Amino acid sequence: AQAVLAAGLPALERSLLPRAEWIAIAIDWMKGRAALAHSQAGRRPGAVKDALAAAKRIERRRRPWGDALATSLRAGAAALGGLPRETLRLLETAEQQANDAELHLHALAASLLRLRLLNADPTEVQARAAALGVARLDKMSRVYLPGFG
């Protein structure tokens, strides 16, 4: 993912597309997720800082749906940093923000990860995801919220 981003982002960022706020937020979310995935894989342990910087850029835009994405990046960074209480708090916040912004799949992904950290039964969350057409919420969660083993 990082190689694809490195190859394509310079041209995308020179274009006019990032002037559209939702595209700029999506780009930062993509950058943050790639950084967390790289850090999790041990390729770039310092990449967590890049993910946190992406979260900060998203938060500056003050969009409810963007806040959910930024909080999920922060949760992944906390998980990679070995901060379980902070991770749980951020996952709960991300879940609520995502539900408020009607990002239901994102909320379900955060809920699944939170329940796993609590060693709680995720059956109900997985059933809700299945009702939305997601057969493997665990796989989707790895894409939406990297940083969780």
The burial of 13, by beta-carbon neighbours within 10 Å (0-12 exposed, 13-18 middle, 19 or more buried), is given as exposed
Q: In angstroms, rounded to a whole number, what is the distance separating the alpha carbons of residues 66 and 106?
A: 12
Answer yes or no: are the C-beta atoms of 63 and 82 closer than 8 Å: no
Residue 97 has pLDDT above 90, yes or no: yes
- Each residue of 11-54: pLDDT tens digit? 666 665 556 677 789 889 988 998 998 887 776 667 889 999 99
pLDDT at 41: 73
Mean pLDDT of the chain: 88
> Cα 12 to chain center, whole Å?
21
- Each residue of 46-83: pLDDT tens digit? 788 999 999 999 999 999 999 999 999 999 999 999 99
Sequence-ordered list of residues with C-beta below 8 angstroms from that of 9, at least 6 positions apart, any chain: 27, 31
pTM of the model: 0.86
pLDDT at 130: 95
Q: Alpha helix locations (H) across 41-148?
A: 47-60, 64-80, 84-100, 104-117, 123-131, 137-144
> Cα 31 to chain center, whole Å?
10
**Alpha-carbon distances of 43 from 1, 34, 86, 93, rounded to whole Å:** 12, 11, 24, 28
- Mean per-residue pLDDT, 98-105: 95
pLDDT at 64: 92
Q: In angstroms, rounded to a whole number, what is the distance separating the alpha carbons of residues 116 and 67?
A: 23
Residue 10 has pLDDT above 80, yes or no: no
Answer yes or no: are the C-beta atoms of 47 and 35 closer than 8 Å: yes
